[in-house]
């Protein structure tokens, strides 16, 4: 069981922050690998993984969080920028939450491996197009507040496995002319409340259900692996987009989605 948990924790951490869809991979990996233990797809492990990726964001972007927190007070330009970004983060996250919570039951019906594989391909192509044809004329300072809100609201599409929260926000940002580094950084900012919110909702579900938590050492191990791998993934992503296009992620999405479809249809044959 340790091997499967470590793999899922690493997959969650890597794919949560890269624009390749963590939920899509977490739906596909157990099916393709033939893992049937309910613990691997249960809420308690999901909560542990969200805690781990949340810690990764805190660790990797600590200076950014301090800067955003200082945006609550002060009048200098850098503080005003932090305040605008913070307002966009909070506003878009609250709206997504208000929309998503009533639809939770319906959204669980969309956790279909074939759908996830197909959306990996579709939104991989969208990411490639936005990055190829989008300009890079806007950075964090010059991007209008309404654009940040629109980018934040695009996360709603990522409630469906295979879309990717990081992927859709970076796709929309690049389509609106935001440079890659700014698009990636704001995408990571958006992930923090989303990951925290998802983890909190799932934690409440676990507490209300009254079911046994499960293997505590496994859950702690999953949290630590997700935190370490996730922090490394965040720093690597910011370094990568400073020098390269997003084409590699788009190619990976199309290849992974295609391979997953082939394997799924083969398994069902």
- The pLDDT value recorded for residue 269 is 64
Q: For every one of its 269 residues, what pLDDT tens digit does the chain have, with 9 covering 90 and above?
A: 788 899 999 998 999 899 998 888 888 888 888 888 877 777 788 888 988 999 999 999 999 998 888 877 766 667 788 888 888 988 888 888 888 778 877 877 888 889 999 999 999 999 999 999 988 889 888 899 999 999 999 998 988 889 999 999 999 999 999 999 999 999 999 998 888 887 787 778 777 776 666 778 888 899 999 999 999 999 999 999 999 999 999 999 999 999 999 999 887 76
Q: What is the pLDDT at residue 52?
A: 92
Give the pLDDT of residue 236: 97
User: What span, in angstroms and rounded, lies between the C-alpha atoms of 36 and 126?
Assistant: 33
Hey, CA dihedral for 213, 37, 51, 186, is it positive or negative? negative
Q: Is 71 helix (H, G, I), strand (E, B) or coil?
A: coil
Please give the model's pTM, rounded to 2 decimal places: 0.87
Residue 223 in contact with residue 52, Cβ under 8 Å? Answer: yes
CA 198 to chain centre: 11
């Amino acid at each position: 069981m340790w091997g499967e948990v470590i793999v899922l924790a690493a997959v969650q951490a890597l794919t949560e922050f890269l624009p390749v869809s963590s939920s899509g991979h977490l739906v596909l990996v157990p099916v393709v690998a033939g893992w049937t233990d309910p613990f691997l797809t249960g809420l308690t492990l999901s909560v542990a993984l969200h805690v781990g990726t949340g810690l990764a964001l805190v660790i990797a972007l600590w200076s950014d969080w301090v800067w955003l927190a200082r945006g609550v007070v002060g009048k200098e330009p850098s503080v005003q920028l932090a305040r605008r970004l913070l307002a966009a983060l909070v506003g878009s996250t609250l709206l997504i939450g208000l929309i998503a919570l009533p639809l939770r039951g319906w959204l669980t019906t969309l956790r279909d491996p074939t759908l996830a594989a197909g959306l990996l391909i579709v939104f991989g192509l969208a990411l490639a197009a936005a990055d190829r044809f989008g300009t890079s004329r806007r950075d964090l300072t010059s991007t209008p507040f309404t654009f940040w809100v629109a980018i934040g609201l695009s996360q709603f599409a990522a409630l469906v496995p295979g879309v990717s929260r990081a992927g859709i926000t970076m796709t929309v940002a690049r389509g609106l002319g935001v440079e890659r580094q700014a698009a990636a950084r704001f995408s990571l900012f958006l992930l923090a409340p989303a990951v925290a919110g998802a983890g909190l909702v799932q934690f409440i579900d676990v507490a209300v259900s009254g079911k046994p938590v499960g293997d505590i050492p496994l859950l702690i191990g999953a949290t630590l692996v997700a935190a370490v791998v996730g922090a490394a993934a965040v720093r690597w992503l910011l370094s990568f987009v400073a020098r390269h296009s997003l084409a590699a992620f788009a190619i990976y999405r199309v290849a992974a989605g295609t391979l997953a479809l082939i394997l799924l249809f083969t398994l069902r044959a």
